[in-house]
Structure 1
């Protein structure tokens, strides 16, 4: 059975991007082998990706002509019309995340569904009771302002800490399981 996972990096003060969607604060850690190993281990369990339109647009602007997930089906939740890059398996959808969750799980083929990028789409999954795990890598940077980690309308029930580890002396990865109470 597929697990819906939010795998994300955040600053110490809880932002996943600057107000201008800049990720330079995070990309400076790309050379850290232990951080990269963590990403590789995570990706081995991913069977399907769901992302919002803003994240998709950012990828297209910052990785022109190169789709970073050629082997993985990706569902983009958007109200805009796009054409898929070559070598990609992308489905564009509109609507409530509950409507598409069974399709995402089927596309994952018993692997996990990665909820990528911006917190807005992930918040929709969480508020629908469809977010199972949050894997949060806290990076030692403070932005002071930016895109919030998970912009929910209210507090979650307590999260269960499943594991924690230090990555390359630069970051801390925390894995939480969510207790489902939304519906």
Structure 2
């Protein structure tokens, strides 16, 4: 894994939720943003996209076209592991073993919370790019459900309209 870098690039509410209690991220659209919050620049620099099955399924309810078609896409899913569809390969198992098997070097961990927890447990996230939306949801799916402590180093803070983007690197 020497040259592989995994980045978690994700938006969260001010109170730390990545989706509401129904798993929806539509609340993000209700907040005015200034441009794309650096998304396109980030996206242009990744070659591989990985996400959980629920996140993958949700993409199709948000857009008519699959947004990651020019990237290698992997979906962690115990139900479909070992299969593929026109957009993604479905995988399961140990995160570090999977990272060693793939060709990609710049990997975007899209979500969701359960997969983030697994990557954290394996200490497989190198960079955290968390864009905070100016909304308090009160309940929902939390970004971090980790039972381990992780020490991070702040690299950058940017403002995009009403959004604040925090960039951390893993110290471990």
Which residue of structure 2 aligns with residue 136 of structure 1?
130
Query: Counterparts of 1:21-32 in structure 2 under 5 Å?
Result: 21-29=23-31, 32=33
TM-score normalised over the length of structure 2:
0.90
Segments of 4+ in structure 1 off by > 6 A?
A: none
Which residue of structure 2 aligns with residue 100 of structure 1?
98
TM-score normalised over the length of structure 1:
0.85
User: 2:17 matched to 1:19?
Assistant: no
Match for residue 153 of structure 2 among 151, 157, 160: 160
- Deviations along 1:120-146, one digit per CA (max 9) or x if unpaired, are 111211111111010000010000011
User: 2:56 matched to 1:45?
Assistant: no
In structure 2, the CA distance between the partners of 1:136 and 1:37, relative to structure 1 (3 Å rule), is closer
Query: Counterparts of 1:110-149 in structure 2 under 5 Å?
Result: 110=105, 112-149=106-143
Which residues of structure 2 form unaligned runs of 5+? Answer: none
Which residues of structure 1 form unaligned runs of 5+? Answer: none
C-alpha distance in 1, partners of 2:84/2:100? 24
2:49–2:110 Cα contact (<8 Å) kept: yes
Which residue of structure 2 aligns with residue 77 of structure 1?
76
Which residue of structure 2 aligns with residue 54 of structure 1?
54
C-alpha distance in 1, partners of 2:24/2:137? 11
C-alpha distance in 2, partners of 1:73/1:63? 19
In structure 2, the CA distance between the partners of 1:28 and 1:103, relative to structure 1 (3 Å rule), is farther
Please provide the CA RMSD for this pair.
Answer: 1.7
Return 143-152 or 95-104, whichever deviates more.
95-104
Superposition deviation, residue 3 in structure 1: 1.2
* Residue aligned with 1:46, SS: coil
How many residues were matched structurally? 168
2:113–2:145 Cα contact (<8 Å) kept: yes
